[in-house]
Amino acid sequence: MSDSSLTQSVIERYASVARKGEQLCVPDGYDMEALATYIPQPVLQIANGCGVPVGLGTVRAGETVLDVGSGGGIDCFEASRLTGKDGFVIGVDMTDEMLEIARNSAAAVAVNLGYAQSNVEFRKGRAEKLPVDDQTIDLIISNCVINLAPDKQRVFQEIYRALKIGGRFTISDVVADTSIPNYLLNDQERWGACLSGAMYTRDYLRTIRATGFVGVHQVNVAPWGTIDGVHFSALTVTGYKVAAPNSFFPNEGIFSEYAVFKGPFKWVVDEYGQTFVRGLWRKIDQKTSDLLHLEPFRPWFLFSNDKVLGKMLNDDDPELLQILPADKPCEWKGNFATMTSLFERAEDDDHHQFESGVPIEICSKTDDVLATSQYAPFFYILNRAQQPVSSEAVACSPNGECC
pLDDT tens digits, one per residue of 217-233:
999 999 888 888 899 99
So what's the pLDDT on residue 245?
A: 47
Chosen domain end from 195, 216, 240: 240
Distance, CA of 39 to CA of 108 (rounded, Å): 8
Give the CA angle between residues 293, 298, 301 to the nearest 5°.
Answer: 105
Q: DSSP alpha helices (H): ranges in 58-124?
A: 74-83, 96-113
Is 312 found in the same domain as 264?
A: yes
Give residue-wise pLDDT tens across range 169-205: 999 999 999 998 888 777 766 655 566 678 999 999 9
Distance, CA of 185 to CA of 230 (rounded, Å): 12
CB neighbours (10 Å) of residue 379? 21
Distance, CA of 369 to CA of 12 (rounded, Å): 47
Q: How many residues does the chain have?
A: 403
Distance, CA of 330 to CA of 399 (rounded, Å): 13
Give the residue among 393, 348, 386 at the shortest CA–CA distance from 366: 348
Residue type at position 315: D
SS3 at position 351? coil
Is 285 found in the same domain as 152?
A: no
Is 103 found in the same domain as 252?
A: no
Is 268 found in the same domain as 197?
A: no
Q: Residue 400: is its pLDDT beyond 50?
A: no
What's the burial of 333, exposed, middle or buried (CB within 10 Å: 0-12/13-18/19+)? middle
**Residue-number span of the structural domain to which 403 is assigned:** 324-403
Q: Quick check: pTM over 0.75?
A: yes
Is 272 found in the same domain as 282?
A: yes
For residue 358, the domain's CATH number is: 3.40.5.100
Give residue-wise pLDDT tens across range 261-278: 999 999 999 999 999 999
Q: Residue 393: is its pLDDT beyond 70?
A: no
Phi, psi of 65 (to 5 degrees): -120, 140
**High-pLDDT (> 90) share of the chain, %:** 65
